[in-house]
């Protein structure tokens, strides 16, 4: 579209579609909306996220249909808050007779840096004994969170632990670990949206965006 638009037009401002007139722009009426636009460039669009999550749902359903012992149901464990949208969308895309759903919270990040230690694992109870668990998480960065979680679930007696991660950063992980199922490989940049946040901000954005922080 030509910018600024001529006459009346529908434009996307942030997450909202607005019907605007070119004279509104010249009068500055939309200045505040332009300022509240989401940060950074779109790395993965809503349509691409939807399509990939659908594919993962099909693959994961096929896997559990083939490999679960009779009478067993898998336990899908979503890591909050980052995997919130991914987890619920994936659950909708999965086609299995019975799935048990649980969530947990762990955290290692402060700002855009990993704090290196993980809080929240001790609180996990003994309900994992003998279970086939699928960990669903937002992003694999240093690898610390995922490997600590897999180790802990095995200690608690899980019969099988698989991992499904939305994003994996293209970098050498501090702890070597490979997800069983992956949405997208991305460059080593800080991303937000679709559940991923920067200290609580940008989590509700519909797309994954690369954040340019003020110190960059």
Of 9-17, 28-36, 48-56, 140-148, which part binds ligand XMP (CB under 6 A)?
140-148
- Token reading at 184: 């997208």
Interface pick for ligand XMP out of 75, 93, 94, 139 (rule CB under 6 A): 139
Give the number of other Cβ atoms within 10 Å of residue 115's Cβ.
12
Pattern 108-127, ligand XMP, x by CB under 6 A? xx----x-------------
- What does the block give as tokens for 82? 């980052």
184 strand-pairing partners: 167
Nearer to ligand XMP, 88 or 108 (CB): 108
Phi/psi at 129 (5° precision):
-55, 120
Q: Which of 149, 192, 205, 208 binds ligand XMP (CB under 6 A)?
A: 192
State whether residue 193 is helix, strand or coil. Answer: strand
- 141 part of the active site: yes
Q: How far apart are CA 21 and CA 7, in angstroms?
A: 5
> Which of 44, 49, 64, 141 contacts ligand XMP by CB under 6 A?
141
Q: Is 89 in the site for ligand XMP (CB under 6 A)?
A: no
Distance CA 23, CA 9 (A): 11
Q: Which range touches ligand XMP (CB under 6 A), out of 1-9, 33-41, 61-69, 190-198?
A: 190-198
Per CB under 6 A, does 191 bind ligand XMP?
yes
- How far apart (Å, rounded) are the C-alpha atoms in residues 101 and 132? 12
Minimum Å gap between C-beta 171 and ligand XMP is 10
61 near ligand XMP, rule: CB under 6 A = no
Alpha helices in 68-143 (DSSP H): 84-93
By DSSP bridging, strand 132-140 and strand 75-80 are parallel
CB of 63 to ligand XMP, least distance (A): 23
In contact, 108 and 119? CB cutoff 8 Å: yes
Distances 155 to 97, 125, 176, 179 between C-alpha atoms, Å: 28, 11, 19, 19
Tell me the closest approach of the beta carbon of residue 10 to ligand XMP, in angstroms.
31
Contact region with ligand XMP (CB under 6 A), list: 1-9, 65-73, 155-163, 187-195: 187-195
**Catalytic positions, written as ranges:** 141
* Residues making contact with ligand XMP (CB under 6 A): 82, 108-109, 114, 137-145, 190-192, 196-197
């Amino acid at each position: 579209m030509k910018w600024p638009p001529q006459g009346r037009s529908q434009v996307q401002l942030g997450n909202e579609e607005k019907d605007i007139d070119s004279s509104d722009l010249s009068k500055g009426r939309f200045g505040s909306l332009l300022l509240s636009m989401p940060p950074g460039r779109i790395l993965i669009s809503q349509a691409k996220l939807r399509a990939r999550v659908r594919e993962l749902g099909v693959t994961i359903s096929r896997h559990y249909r083939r490999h679960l012992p009779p009478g067993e149901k898998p336990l899908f464990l979503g890591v909050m808050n980052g995997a919130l949208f991914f987890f619920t969308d994936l659950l909708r895309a999965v086609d299995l007779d019975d799935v048990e759903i649980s969530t947990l919270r762990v955290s290692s990040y402060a700002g855009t840096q990993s704090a290196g230690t993980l809080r929240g694992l001790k609180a996990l109870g003994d309900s994992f004994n003998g279970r086939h668990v699928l960990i669903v998480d937002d992003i694999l960065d240093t690898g610390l969170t995922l490997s600590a979680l897999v180790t802990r679930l095995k200690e608690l007696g899980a019969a099988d632990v698989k991992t499904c991660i939305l994003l994996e950063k293209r970098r050498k992980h501090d702890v070597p670990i490979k997800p069983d199922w992956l949405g997208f490989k991305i460059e080593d940049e800080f991303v937000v949206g679709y559940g991923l946040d920067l200290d609580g901000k940008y989590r509700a954005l519909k797309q994954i965006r690369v954040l340019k922080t003020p110190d960059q």
